[in-house]
A and B are shown apart, each in its own frame.
Chain A
Amino acid sequence: MKTINASGIYYRDLNEIIKELVRSGEDIINLKNVNGQRYIGDNLSGTTKINIEGTPGNDMAAFMDGLTIEVFGNGQDAIGNTMNDGNIIIHGHAGDTVGYGMRGGSIYIKDSVGYRVGIHMKEYKDKVPVIVIGGSAGDFFGEYMAGGCMIVLNLKNDENIVGEYCGTGMHGGVIYLRGDVEDYKLGKEVIKEKIDDKDYAFIQKYVENFCQFFDYDFQKIMNHSFVKLHPIGKRPYGNMYA
């Protein structure tokens, strides 16, 4: 275990230290006083756990392939950009474009997220990325979504569980919303359905993880209606061309 006081360290220097430690197989890295340093965990692989106190900057865990990053604070934009594997736990809210093009691993966010979250998430073989959000999400949630699973729990009962243009261009994957969403907010490529026992079983382990990370009561969360959004087909624009 290594502890680093990140206060006042330039992001490039901080990342160099982190990379060195991860590559040498350090099991736990504690980062204190992180204040906006970008690209933490970028393109790293391994089994290291990074604990972050403070607010990490944009593109945290971009291209990451393994590792667990737990943030005791809020996250900024583009967390898990094109991430391939690993786990991220945010004890707060996160900004825009979380999980852009994400292919694997999981991201758990205690509170809400910004715009354009989960755009072009995809899945491949055993890789099925998951994002679980305790609060609500902004516009363009799951746009172009091609695979994976996103769950929005709306535990603070925001008026808008998701923003507008939800699932526009969606052609794979599935979104679960605890509560309901107005049809006008949904992309025309999306079907909304009530969830069945199979869906409950599917989301159970993710919600259990969420409850364990953030100390919520599982039964209380699940004792609520959910809807599921999934795409009409894998080929939304199949008949557009002459």
Chain B
Amino acid sequence: MSLSYLTPEFKVLRDYDKCINCKVCMRQCSFEVHSYDEHLDKMISNDMNCVNCQRCVVLCPTQALTIIKHPQTFKEHANWTYDAIRDIYRQAETGGVLLSSMGNDRPYPIYWDKMVINASQVTNPSIDPLREPMELRVYIGRKLDKIEVDENLNVKTKMPPQLKLETPIMFSAMSYGSISYNAHAALARAAEELGILYNTGEGGLHEDFRKYGKNTIVQVASGRFGVDREYLNTAAAIEIKIGQGAKPGIGGHLPGEKVSEDISATRMIPPGSDAISPAPHHDIYSIEDLAQLIYSLKEATDYQKPVGVKIAAVNNVAAIASGIARAGADYIAIDGFRGGTGAAPKRIRDNVGIPIEFAIAAVDARLRSEGIRHTVSLVAAGSIRNSADIVKAIALGADAVYIATAALIALGCHMCQKCHTGKCNWGIATQDPNLVKRLNPEIGYKRLVNLVQAWSHEIKEMLGGMGINDIESLKGNRLMLRGIGMTQKELDILGILAAGE
């Protein structure tokens, strides 16, 4: 074993005037940073192990701890950055593919932040949502070319199945395995209370959560884990997972050590064996093959449930989405390149895919130009950070959004990006029972409800400001957006004018 060239990334600062040697930090840290030195009679820390998840900082009863970025630097070099050098050290030591978690953390432009929202002044007066009705309810599913009514104006036409959302937000796919039982419990319960849906990911559906079926989207992905009759019959909708924004073009891989007895039962694979989701579905090599699986699932559920398709936002996303719409999908979820993950090769997370802002605008424009936009709903995903991002996504053409990273942050995630280690100190991205119990689903679900309710209220305020009283009237309404600091090409793709125009 050669000498490791890696030095600590973070430094633990302990205020010894405040530290009372209570050892809370030591018990809380799954990365084993803190320990008690009997000889010195004081707490000491191993900075090398620190990931800056801040569990100890938050739990320290005397606020004695601060974590800072380690001041140790290399000689300044604009090209050979700190990360570039350290990644080489790590790969030269291990020969391994670099793993990372959560979304792309590179400093690409964030186009949400280059768009501003309109408001009414003088004409078309703004609306106060506190005093006037404001509709955030959306229906996800295929809409018909026309409907027929009888002489009493009752609708005669049978509508295709729809998902009713009380607010245009859903919890995006995260499998039981990538996140904990308690995290799933919080998401499922919050979805029920909010009148929205959460998504199982490709990890099967734990029997305890079947009672939330009407608020559950189940995924059918290339590994088909946990997919059986009951799974399909319990769900409100079925989503075929083709791709994920954090890792377009590659599959998933839950390492065997995370396949506990409980995970094994939910995924229906033997404990300890790798759960490998192949990169493609090997029965889908064309749009026609995709249509076959879509209709296989519709046939399996008697055409009673929407069947959606989730793809990563990539170069030709508009043409791909057109094909998916024509293949019979009821909704298309598009996941931008900043979308999160429980584990992805770092180079793929950071370099593959395109921003959701462009993808959703391009897809909406393409489907409208082909006259098929109404045949499919669009769900935008891949780093929706706040209610303004949602308003912008809908104005660019989305019907609703998926949130996942934001939901995990609400549950306590501190974005240390170490989900793949399975040692999440916040009890979210772990299967260690001692860590999982740190996340109280009772509290967690309330935090999720709070977040979505707060965002919904903010969306109403912004809608009201624009003089709009129904979220449907915002959909694809790009006149409500203006761009700042973008090239003409970028503005054209987004289909918006520059501020001042």
Contact = CB atoms under 8 A, between A and B. Distances in A.
A56 B214 CA distance: 34
A28 to B, nearest CB: 22
B299 A100 contact: no
A97 interface: yes
A39 B295 contact: yes
A156 interface: no
A163 to B, nearest CB: 14
Given A140-B282, A242-B91, A122 B269 contact: yes
Interface string A212-238: 000000000000000000000011111
A241 B99 contact: yes
Contact of B276 (A12, A42, A144, A147): A144
B228 A65 contact: yes
Contacts of A116: 282-283
A63 interface: yes
Given A63-B232, A84-B229, A240-B96, A38 B268 contact: no
B301 interface: yes
A62 B255 contact: no
A97 B272 CA distance: 27
Interface in B69-123: 90-91, 93-99
A191 to B, nearest CB: 17
Given A38-B292, A58-B292, A84-B228, A101 B223 contact: yes
B501 to A, nearest CB: 49
A123 interface: yes
Contacts of A12: 299
A71 to B, nearest CB: 18
A58 B286 CA distance: 14
B220 to A, nearest CB: 8
Interface string B219-246: 0101110011100110000000000000
Interface in B266-291: 268-270, 272-274, 276, 278, 282-283
B256 A97 contact: no
Contacts of A187: none
B46 interface: no
B283 to A, nearest CB: 4
A19 B296 CA distance: 14
Contact of B296 (A59, A140, A172, A239): A59
Given A81-B283, A120-B224, A234-B256, A146 B296 contact: no
A220 to B, nearest CB: 34
B137 interface: no
Contacts of A171: 273-274, 276
B274 A238 contact: yes
Contacts of A100: 224, 282-283
B89 to A, nearest CB: 10
Given A63-B227, A78-B292, A103-B268, A42 B255 contact: no
B210 interface: no
Contacts of B99: 241-242
A30 interface: no
Contacts of A242: 90-91, 93-99
A169 B276 CA distance: 9
A47 interface: no
Nearest to A64: B229
18 contacts: A12-B299, A38-B295, A39-B299, A42-B300, A43-B233, A59-B293, A62-B296, A63-B232, A65-B229, A82-B220, A82-B228, A101-B224, A124-B270, A147-B270, A171-B274, A240-B97, A241-B420, A242-B94
Closest 6 CB pairs of A and B: A242-B96, A101-B224, A43-B300, A242-B94, A234-B273, A124-B268
Given A63-B227, A237-B276, 6 more contacts: A42-B296, A63-B228, A103-B228, A103-B268, A120-B224, A171-B276
